[in-house]
Structure 1
Amino acid sequence: MSLYHLETLLWIDRLGTFSAAAERLNTTQPAVSARMRELEQRLGTRLFRRDGRTMSLTAAGRKLVRDCDPLLRDMQIALLGSGGFAEASGVVRIGAGEIAAASCLPAFVADLKADMPNVGLEIEIDLTANLIQQLLTGRTDIAFAAGPIAHPALKTQPIGEVALMWLASPEVAAAFTAGEAQLPVWSLASHSPIHGRMRDAIEASRIAQESLNLCNNARTMIDIAKAGGGVGIFPEPMARAEVAAGALVELSDMPALASVAFHVAMRVSDSEPVLARIFDRASQLSLSASR
């Protein structure tokens, strides 16, 4: 019996399927199945039962997971050596929404690489709904996402809020103040967690609803507004430079916009010391401090 047999068993338990465990361990599903057959043969007991198309742990399998999880975690801590987390290795996958990626993520990643130079990072920018799904299936280890995140398999920590602003180019802002009709207005698309509050604010404004346009990329919307393409609701960190340079100006007398809360999340079942350390560090972030 080898450590990789037990590690594979733990990842199957954490992620729920052989295929998800295979992806997390950078191997194939047949290889994972073979490891579990070997483990069952050497233990002389069944660890899995088939329920239709799914596999579930037997009582013996659950006991083995419970007994081995803390042992492997302690071994991982011991293998970090006297250099602590500076000697950590492996690959950590971080998912982030576009707004978090433009605010707290760059400095966080730079500090992380300075302290854990041997840990490889894979960063993916995506929508919150996709980030949560990737986290649950093991394709991502840590996620920075907008809005409340409520799932029993995830633990989360709030890291602050991001303000939203009504912005337009100086020329468009002047035309809007003068009462010019049918100015285009831009909002993040419906699958964004902040689309609803944007739409509510637009409905409360004096902007014609037929002028509403949607985009799934805030950076593109900012560029459109800079080019005089209309009025938009933008995350403050992403538009900060344009506002400071005068390329975009804030519109006055517009409906108030609630800030967007952000959280860092990871799977409850993950007990790897490196992931726990990264989550703890991420939990200390403050989006307001990044201004």
Structure 2
Amino acid sequence: MAINRIAFYHLETLFWIARLGTFAAAAARLNTTQPAISARVRELESHLGTALFRREGRSMALTPAGRELVRESEPLWARFQGVLMGCADASGARGVVRVGAGEIAAAICLPGFVTGLTRDLPNVSLEIDIALTVDLIQQLASGRADMIFGAGRVAHPMLRTLPIGAVDLVWLASPDMAASIPERAPVWSLSDASPLYRVVKEALAASRLADSPVNLCNNVRTMIDIVVQGGGIGAFPAPMVGEHVDSGRLAPVPHMPSLPQIEFHVAVRAAESDPLVLAIFDRASGLRI
């Protein structure tokens, strides 16, 4: 067995295929080509004298030998990376980090966070995906994201989460509609997979608009535009509508039940061992919304 021919990039390739499930995804994560990934796997399997992956549909699954190699060597790899990062200037860190965020979290905390991150880690590339929190949780658990900013409770046995604050929700409408709310005013909310939907439904049930239709939209900014035009009322995060209220385009809706705050969390996989991802997660956990 030619152990002396096994390079660190062989193990790194193994870990990312195991985490992401396909050679193509590992190639994208490691900024190389799929043929290069395939060649690395063939080299590693040749050196070890055993198969490490088997194809299952479109994905690659670890063989028993592959699972054992990942389990035994990944902690060593993580410690080695940690040593290298500790010896090097943090600003020289390199890699591609995939960050997911809900639209509200993205609007409130991402611009400043990303600006500071790209300034301090100029060689790190970010891939940002905006989606509903429920989808982001699945992306993170499956390895398709490295870190997420989510609204509401981010609960999953495979994830580690930390709170980063909360925002107020306010009932708003156009000034004309706020002055004279019809009995069945259209109400706007994010989709029923969003924590905002549950909050809106519970508050409506205790209001004079309990029989009003609830319209769904997957984009907060679009809902704000609709309500500004007199298309109904909505419960919006205060930081996203401050300018509209100050300018008079939106007005508070009177006699509506108060709304609870929406909490925000940042999360990584509980088993995350990449020092760069953990360093960015530690930085994100210091945010206060």
What secondary structure is seen at the aligned counterpart in 2 of 1:92? Answer: strand
1:134 aligns with 2:136: no
TM-score (norm 1): 0.86
Q: Does 2:126 match 1:121?
A: yes
Secondary structure in 1 aligned to 2:195? coil
2:47 aligned partner = 42
Q: Map of 1:41-120 to 2, 5 A cutoff?
A: 41-48=46-53, 56-58=61-63, 60-80=65-85, 84-120=89-125
Contact 1:155 1:266 in 2 (8 A): yes
What does residue range 178-217 of structure 1 map to in structure 2 within 5 Å?
180-207=182-209, 209-217=211-219
**Aligned partner of residue 149 in structure 1, secondary structure:** coil
Q: How does 1:168-247 map to 2 (within 5 A)?
A: 168-176=173-181, 180-207=182-209, 209-247=211-249
Per-residue deviation, 1:36: 2.6
Stretches of structure 1 that go unaligned for 5 or more consecutive residues are: none
Alpha-carbon contact 1:85-1:274 (below 8 Å) kept:
no
1:5 aligned to 2:31? no
Deviation of residue 52 (structure 1)?
A: 8.8
Q: 2: CA distance between counterparts of 1:221 and 1:56?
A: 43
Shifted more, 46-55 versus 193-202: the winner is 46-55
Residue 70 of structure 1 and its aligned partner are, at CA, apart by 3.3
Residue 231 of structure 2 aligns to a residue whose secondary structure is: coil
Partner of 1:154: 159
Unaligned runs of 5+ in 2: 1-5
2:33 & 2:247 partners in 1: Cα distance? 52
Corresponding residue of 1:283 = 285
Q: 1:127 to 1:208 in 2, by over 3 A?
A: same
Instruction: For residue 116 of structure 1, report the CA deviation from its aligned partner.
Output: 0.8
Alignment length, in residue pairs? 284
Residue 24 (structure 1) shift: 2.9
What is residue 256 of structure 1 aligned with on the other side? 258
Q: C-alpha separation between the residues in 2 aligned to 1:159 and 1:140?
A: 19
Question: 1:169-220 CA distances to partner (integer Å, 9 max, x unpaired)?
Answer: 22211112xxx33332212222323212212212221126344322111111
**CA–CA distance in 2 between the matches of 1:225 and 1:50?**
51
Contact 1:24 1:138 in 2 (8 A): no
Asked if 1:268 is matched to 2:270, the reply is yes
Distance change in 2, residues 1:244/1:12 (3 Å): same
Secondary structure in 2 matching 1:102: helix
Name whichever of 55-64 and 136-145 sits farther off: 55-64
Post-superposition shift, 1:281?
0.9
- Residue 180 of structure 2: SS of its match in structure 1? helix
**Secondary structure at 1:258's aligned position in 2?**
coil
**Distance 1:21-1:270 versus aligned 2 partners, 3 A rule:** farther
Distance 1:16 1:187 in 2: 35
Task: Determine if contact 2:20/2:144 at 8 Å carries over to the other structure.
Answer: no
| Mapped partners of 1:6, 1:172: distance in 2 | 62
Q: 1:121 to 1:54 in 2, by over 3 A?
A: closer
**Alpha-carbon spacing, 1:49–1:122, altered in 2? closer, same or farther (3 Å):** closer
Tell me how far apart the structure 1 counterparts of residues 221 and 284 of structure 2 sit (CA, whole Å). Answer: 24
CA distance in 1, matches of 2:16, 2:272: 9
Q: Note the C-alpha offset of 1:250.
A: 1.7
